[in-house]
Structure 1
Amino acid sequence: MPRRTATMLTSTLLLIAVLCAAVLIRVPYAEMSPGPTVNTLGEYGGEPVLSIEGRKTHEPSGHLNMTTVRVTGAEYRMNLVEAVYGWLADDSAVVPHDTLYPDDKSAEEVREENAEEFTQSLESAKVAALRELGIPVGERVVVASVVKDGPAEGRLHAGDVIRAVDGEPVEQPDDVARLVTEHDPGEDVVFTVVPAKRAEEAEKEGGEPTGGREVTVATTEADDGRAIVGIRAGLDHTFPFEIDIELADVGGPSAGLMFALGIVDKLSEEDLTGGEFVAGTGTIDGEGEVGPIGGIGMKTIAARDKGAKYFLTPEANCEAAARDVPEGLTLVRVGSLDDALEALEHVRSGNTDALPSCAAG
C-alpha cells in the first residue's frame, strides 16, 4: 500500500476513533435552553392562567409573559460532543451538572423543592399585588412543616394555625421558636392551635377560624443544646377573595414578579401595558421587592422569540443580561413591583426614553 494512502487511512481511522470516543464519553454537565413563555393575562392549555372570583376584574389587552428555562433531566448525562455544541451555540448554556442537581439531593427532592418555591412565589405575588392596590391581606402563624419522628409528629400538623405558645399569643413565626427555646429540653410546651381543616373551612366561608384547642408537646434537645419540638413555623396569608393561578409543569420562584403584575392588571381599570408585549422575570416577596433569578440569557431569548418588545429584568441580573441582548428586545431594570409599574406606565404612554435600562459591566 502506498505510504500516502496508508497515512490517509490511518488518519481517517484515528478521526473516527476520536469521534466515537467523544460520543461515548459522558461529562458532568447539564444544558439550559429557552423554555416556554406564558402570558399571565391569557390562557394556557385552554384554561385561564389567572382566575379571580369575588372581585370585579378587567380584561387587559396586552401581554405580561412569565419566562422559563428548559433544562436536561437529572439522570441525563451529556456526551462530549453535545457539551461542545452547547458551549458554541447562542441559544443554550452548558453548566456543571451539580449546579442544577446538587449531589446531596435526589432528583425527586430537587423537584419537590422547585414545586414548593413555585407555590411560595404565587403566595408572595398575591400578597404583593393586593398590598400594592391597598387591599387588606390577613396574616396568621401556622405550622409550615413537621419533622419526621420528631416530638410534634402526630400531634401538630402542617397548616395548623398557632394561636399561642404557653398561653402567650404569637404574631410572627420567630415568636414560636423563641417561646419553645425558653424551655429546658424535656419540658412540655403547650400550643393553642386551630386545626388546619377547620381553618381552611373558615377561609372558604370568608371568615377567620375561631377558638382553638391545647396540644401539649414534650421538647427534645437539639445538637446545639436548645429545646425543640420538631416543627417549622411559617406565615400564612388570607385573602378577601379567591385568586387562582393554574400553570402545570413549572417550578422555582422566578415567575413571582410577572404573576403579581398580572393580578394588578386584572384588578385595575388601567390597562397596564397599553396593549404592548411585555415579558420578564424575577422573584418577589410580600413587600414587593424583586430578587434575582437564574438562566437570564435563556429567558431573554425565549421572550424575544415569542414576540416581546420589553423585558423586565431584576437589577441583580441586569449586567449579565446586557452582555448579549437579543435583537429587538429592550431590557428594563426593576428592583421592585413599584419600579415595574412605573416602567409599564412609560411603555403604555410611549415615553420609552425614560425606561431604566440595563448596562453591561
Structure 2
Amino acid sequence: MLSRLSRLSRPVALAVCAAPLTALLAVAALAPLPFAIAQPGPTADVLGAKDGRTVISISGAPTRETKGQLRMTTIQATGPSDSASLAELVEMWFRTDRAVLPREAVYPSGGSDEEIEKHNLEEMAKSQSTATEAALGYLRRNPSEVKVDLDLADVGGPSAGLMFSLGIVDKLAGDGGGGELTGGRTVAGTGTISPDGKVGAVGGVALKTQAAKRDGATVFLVPEAECADARTELPEGLQLVPVTSLSDAVNALRALNRGEPAPSC
C-alpha cells in the first residue's frame, strides 16, 4: 500500500488524504450543535394594553393619563430542544439581525421545553412583584394602601423589571416630578430590577435595540454594564441612556423632558 501510494502524483495523493477530513467536515456541517439563534423579538408598551388587557392597573391611589410609551423589549430564540447545524450558524454569524448564543446562555435552567417555559414564566412573575416593590419604595408609597396588578404573562424572564417599575412610577400621579416620564416620546429599554431599585444586566441588548427602533423608540435605557454591547449594532437615531438604578432612569428621562442632556453610552 505504501509503495503504491508513493507512486501517485502529489495532487492525487493530497486528494486521497483529504477525503476523510472532507467527510468529517460535511458531517460537522449537518450535525446539531449546542447553540441558539436569536433575533429581535416583540416589544410591549407597559403603559398601554396587550391583547386587550391593560398591562399596569393601579388602585388605592390617584393615577394620571400618559401620552408616551414605555416599551419593554425581548429577543426570540430557537427553542431549547432545537438544534442549529454548523452551516446555519455560519450563515447567521454574518447577519446583523441575528445572534449566535450558547444555548445555556439563553436557557440557563436546562430541562425540557415545558420545564424551561415554566421557569421563565415564574421568573417573569417574580420580576413583576419586585418591580412593584422597587417602584413603590422609590415613591415612598405604602404597599398596603396602593395595589398594583401587572398583566403580561405570556413573556418569560426577568428582563422587563426596569420598564415595569418605570411604568408604575409614570402612572402614579403626585410623584413630585411634574408630569409624565416619557414627555410624549416612545422610550424603550431593558434590565432587571432589585427591590431596592438596582438595575441588572440581561443580555441580548444589541438585538433589543433593533426591536426598539423598529417599534418607534427614540430613547433606549440600557444597563450601564452593557453599553458596549448595545453600541455594536445601534440603529441610527436611537439614543442610548445608561442606567444603574431606577432613580437613574427617572432622572435621565426628567432631564430629557427639560431639554437637558442625559447620560450617554
TM-score (norm 2): 0.84
Q: Is the 8 A contact 1:275 1:348 kept in 2?
A: no
Q: Deviations over 1:59-115 (max 9, x none)?
A: 110011111111111111112332112111101101122332358533333222222
Q: In structure 1, the residue corresponding to 2:128 is in which secondary structure?
A: helix
**Contact map agreement 1:122 1:245 (CA 8 A) in 2:** yes
> For residues 40 and 340 of structure 1, what CA distance do their matches in structure 2 show?
15
Match of 1:68 in 2: 74
Please tell me whether residue 88 in structure 1 is matched to residue 132 in structure 2: no
Matched, 1:253 2:158: yes
Question: 1:133 — aligned with what?
Answer: 139
Distance in 1 of aligned mates of 2:30 and 2:232 = 34
Instruction: From 230, 233, 246, give the equivalent of 1:337.
Output: 246
Whole-angstrom CA distance in 1 between matches of 2:153 and 2:64 = 24
1:25 alignment counterpart: 31
The reply to whether residue 240 of structure 1 matches residue 145 of structure 2 is yes
> Is the contact between residue 276 and residue 347 of structure 1 (CA under 8 Å) also seen in structure 2?
no
Contact 2:109 2:116 in 1 (8 A): no
State whether structure 2 residue 264 is matched by structure 1 residue 357: yes
Count of paired positions: 240
Selected match of 1:328 from 230, 237, 243 = 237
Q: Which amino acid aligns with 1:100?
A: V
Matched letter for residue 112 of structure 1: K
Taking the TM superposition and a 5 Å limit, the aligned residue runs for 1:91-102 are 91-102=97-108
Change (3 A) 1:324 1:72: same
Q: Secondary structure at the match of 1:299?
A: helix
CA distance in 2, matches of 1:272, 1:19: 55
Aligned CA distance change for structure 1 residues 135 and 98 (closer, same or farther; 3 Å): closer
What per-residue deviation string (whole Å, max 9, x for no partner) do you get for residues 201-235 of structure 1? Answer: xxxxxxxxxxxxxxxxxxxxxxxxxxxxxxxxxxx
Alignment check: 8 A CA contact 1:290 1:337 kept: yes
Amino acid corresponding to residue 87 of structure 2 in structure 1? V
2:104 counterpart SS class:
helix
Alignment of 1:187-198 (within 5 A): none
Moved more, 307-316 or 321-330: 321-330
- Paired residue secondary structure (2:233): coil
> Which position in structure 2 is the counterpart of 1:283?
192
Could you say which residue in structure 2 is the equivalent of 1:274?
183
Unaligned runs of 5+ in 2: 1-18
Counterpart residue type for residue 327 of structure 1: E
% identical equivalent positions = 48
Q: Shift of the alpha carbon at 1:22?
A: 7.5
Q: How far apart, in 1, do the equivalents of 2:225 and 2:201 lie? A: 5
The aligned counterpart of 1:114 is: 120
Looking at structure 2, the residues matched to 285 and 24 of structure 1 have their Cα atoms a distance apart, in angstroms, of 43
Residue pair 1:292, 1:314 contacting (<8 A) in 2 also: yes
The alignment partner of 2:32 has SS state of coil
Paired with 2:245 and 2:257, the residues of 1 have a C-alpha distance of 19
Higher helix share: 2
Q: Which amino acid aligns with 1:272?
A: L
Separation of aligned partners in 2, 1:103 and 1:119:
16
SS at match of 1:65: strand
Residue identity matched to 2:223: P
Is contact 1:292–1:316 with CA below 8 Å preserved after alignment?
yes
Q: Per residue, is there more strand in 1 or in 2? A: 1
Secondary structure at the aligned position of 1:109 is classed as: helix
Q: After superposition, what is the alpha-carbon deviation per residue over 1:140-176, rounded to whole angstroms, capped at 9, x for unaligned?
A: xxxxxxxxxxxxxxxxxxxxxxxxxxxxxxxxxxxxx
Deviation at 1:134, TM superposition (A): 1.4
Cα pair distance change 1:104/1:124, threshold 3 Å: closer
- Contact 1:101–1:107 (CA under 8 A) maintained in structure 2: no
For 1:108, give the aligned amino acid. E
C-alpha deviations, 1:261-283, integer Å up to 9, x for none?
00011102511111011100111
1:35 is matched with which residue: 31, 41, 59?
41
Matched, 1:317 2:226: yes
Alpha-carbon contact 1:334-1:340 (below 8 Å) kept: yes
The answer as to whether partners of 1:297 and 1:321 remain within 8 angstroms in 2 is: yes
Question: SS in structure 2 opposite 1:343?
Answer: helix
1:119 aligned partner, one-letter code: A
Following superposition, the deviation at residue 18 of structure 1 comes to 11
Alignment check: 8 A CA contact 2:187 2:219 kept? yes
Alpha carbons of structure 1 residues 246 and 102: separation in structure 2 relative to 1, 3 Å? closer
From 32, 45, 55, the counterpart of 2:51 = 45
Higher Rg of the two aligned structures: 1
